[in-house]
Chains A and B, each alone.
Chain A
Amino acid sequence: MIGAAVIIMGVLIYIIGTVFYKGIPSLTWEMITKIPGGGFYLGKEGGVLNAIAGSVFIITGALVISLLISVPLVMYINFYLPNKSIFSSIIRFSLDILFGVPSIVYGAFGFALMVYMGIKASLMGGIITVAMLIMPIMMRSLDEVTRLLPRDLPDALLSLGSTKYEMTKVLLRQLMPGLMTAILLAVGRGIGDAATVLFTAGYTDNIPSSLGQPAATLPLSIFFQLGSPVEEVQNRAYASAIILTVIILILSFSARYFSSKFSKNKI
């Protein structure tokens, strides 16, 4: 059993190690700060700033949308609906299922939606689709911390005469570290997912300047560069993979930090 655990840990180290080992030689400052130059896909100068920027834009937009929807929803099922109501368990159940829907299905649905609304593959489309993907993740993780909140806290607020809305505002402040964890988890998933943005965000060598323009993303950039027959370009894919891995590592560790902070502050 210890063997199984050690193997799993070894695999993790092996994965991260391989990516770093392959990518470090071609990871230069230029990779992060420049957009692809003229002969980028033939191994000439340039970087993947377009993809980094695109990913950041998409995830920021998606985050705003999903925050606007998931925070009220979680507050609603926890504080507005009575404890153990059927309605809230139906919502939780459908969240569980939405959580399991594969990202490619979200991508296909997002694409169908965009065709229906007449939007081309663009930043906008990417934002909407990624928002759909990360919403259930965020809701579930926020819901989990919210359920842990001691029940006397809302009772105390209500007994002071506050309305439920005011109560929610106060409790939300209490839930801040949990919300941060939820955000970081969702961002981690959203930024690394390629299947959703494959048909909805498009791909471009430039940094998008408006919502209607297509946007490159980091995972897709890795995927396309890896598919190139030129060796330098492939090496650059490994370097881009390092960038993505580092982003994920940072997000994951800060999520951990916030959640440990939360459990310390528990009343």
Chain B
Amino acid sequence: MRKIRFVKDITARHFMLGIAIFTILFLLVIGFSLFFKALPIMKEKNLWVLLTSANWKPFKGDFGFLPYIISTLYVSLIAIIIALPFSILTSIFLNSYASRSIRRFFEPVVDLLSGIPPVIYGVWGTLTIVPLISNKIAPKFVDFSTGYTVLAGGIVLAIMIIPLLISIMTEVFRSIPREMTDASLSMGATKWQTVKKVILRKSFPGIIAATVLALSRAFGETMAVLMVCGNIAQIPHSFFDACYPLPALIANNYGEMLSMPSYESALMLAAFLLFIIVVLFNGISRFTLNQIEKKYQFS
């Protein structure tokens, strides 16, 4: 009887260890399998040429990723620029101004915003943002725009990353020792001065980390952006041009690529690029955030 108990314990322990190792390896497996799938195209063409050429003619064997990379960057940057002020202000509000009940009331809002599926954001974007841009905003700057633009993608994406930014930033703000803000307030500083000179300065690395994390989330977002940004393979010249980000490229061309090995390999290269960028960004910012959290725990 006694023996069985210990056998069970040891079996469970080894089983769990196996799963733990598998989880760590899983990341490497994804990376390597995407890399090997992308290898053929990298052997065929110089990687640098692939990344900097704007020529995308799969049926002639030209794979230039530049339009896609630029589109992804544009859309994500716009999203960050729009989302950042809102998130910082809201997090500060929730952290140092709002009463407990308002904070509790606001939590589900952030939860819901992050819970709404990308497709719904896409539907909403096509219903509201796209017509808004094509009818109201774009005519003031350019002659004609369909509304399916870089700007539309950026706006929709901004709303999608706001909950992530808010939830990380409130954590970061919370990690600032209370004595610090109290000291500042007792010196006669106003709340806003305290926020500006103490909280924001102290949590600067955290805010940067949160931004990088949100940026990497923005890079990978597929469906919502795909539905509002037009999907034309060109280097967008203004906010009112259509664009074609990397994830949308992968999503749109999966069906037809099977007939051509180099096409498939090129798309896998796109996925690999996305993977590497996201893993790097995530790694760096998570590391910074963990460091911040650690400091907080010991102080």
Name A residues whose Cβ lies closer than 8 Å to a Cβ of B: 1-5, 7-9, 11-12, 14-16, 18-19, 22, 69, 72-73, 75-77, 80, 87, 89-91, 93-109, 111-113, 116, 139, 163-166, 168, 185, 188-189, 191-195, 198-199, 219, 222-223, 226, 237-238, 241, 244-245, 248-249, 251-253, 255-256
- Mark each residue of chain B from 23 to 58: 1 if its CB lies under 8 Å from any CB of chain A, else 0: 110110010011001000000000000000000000
Is the CB–CB distance between B119 and A5 below 8 Å? Answer: no
Contact B119 A109 (CB under 8 A): no
A107 proximity list for chain B (CB < 8 A): 250-251
Q: Given the complex, which residues of B lie within 8 Å of A194, measured CB to CB?
A: 117-119, 222-223
A/B pair count, beta carbons within 8 Å: 237
Binds A, one of B62-70, B142-150, B270-278: B270-278
Which residues of B come within 8 Å of A, CB atoms? Answer: 5-6, 8-9, 12-13, 15-17, 19-20, 22-24, 26-27, 30, 33-34, 37, 85-86, 89-90, 92-94, 97-98, 106, 108-109, 111-113, 115-124, 126-128, 159, 162, 166, 213, 216-217, 219-223, 227, 247, 250-251, 254-255, 267-268, 271, 274-275, 278-279, 281-283, 286-287, 290
The reply to whether A4 and B120 form a contact with Cβ atoms under 8 Å apart is: no
6 sampled A-B residue pairs with Cβ under 8 A? A87-B20, A163-B9, A165-B9, A195-B251, A226-B227, A238-B123
The answer to whether A108 touches B268, judged by C-beta atoms less than 8 angstroms apart, is yes
Instruction: Report the minimal beta-carbon distance from A245 to chain B, rounded to whole angstroms.
Output: 6
Contacts of B222 in A (CB 8 A): 102-104, 194-195
Q: Which residues of A contact B93 (CB under 8 A)?
A: 1-2, 4-5
Cα separation A62 to B24 with both chains bound (whole Å): 20
Q: Are B219 and A102 in contact (CB under 8 A)?
A: yes
Bound together, the chains give a CA A165 to CA B250 distance in angstroms of 44
Q: How far is the CA of A200 from the CA of B227 in the complex (A)?
A: 20
A1-B90, A193-B117 as given contacts; A91 in contact with B97, CB under 8 Å? no
**Distance A108 CA – B254 CA, assembled complex (angstroms):** 9
**Chain B residues with Cβ under 8 A from A95's Cβ?**
23
Which residues in A have their C-beta under 8 angstroms from that of B5?
163, 165-166
B111 & A248 in contact (Cβ 8 Å cutoff)? no
* Cβ A252 vs Cβ B9 within 8 A: no
| A93-B286, A251-B115, A256-B111 as given contacts; A14 in contact with B128, CB under 8 Å | yes
Given A15-B124, A188-B115, A252-B115, does the pair A91, B24 have CB atoms closer than 8 Å? yes
A32 to chain B, nearest CB (A): 17
Provide the residues of chain B in CB contact with A8, threshold 8 Å: 86, 90, 109, 113, 162, 166
* Cβ-defined contact, A241 with B34, below 8 A: no
A104 pairs with B250, CB closer than 8 A: yes
A8 to B160, CA, bound (A): 11
Check B290 against A77 for contact (C-beta < 8 Å). Answer: no
B residues near A168, Cβ cutoff 8 Å: 12
Minimal Cβ-Cβ distance residue in B for A185: B115
Q: How far apart sit A3 and B9, CA to CA, in the bound complex (Å)?
A: 56
Chain A residue numbers with a CB within 8 Å of B97 are 1-2
User: Could you tell me if A4 and B86 are in contact, using CB atoms closer than 8 angstroms?
Assistant: yes
Known A76-B17, A163-B5: A104·B274 in contact at CB below 8 Å = yes
The contact of A248 among B92, B94, B106, B115, by CB within 8 Å, is: B115
Q: How far is the CA of A165 from the CA of B108 in the complex (A)?
A: 36
CB atoms of A96 and B120 under 8 A apart? no
A93 to B20, CA, bound (A): 12
Q: B117 and A104: CB pair below 8 A?
A: no
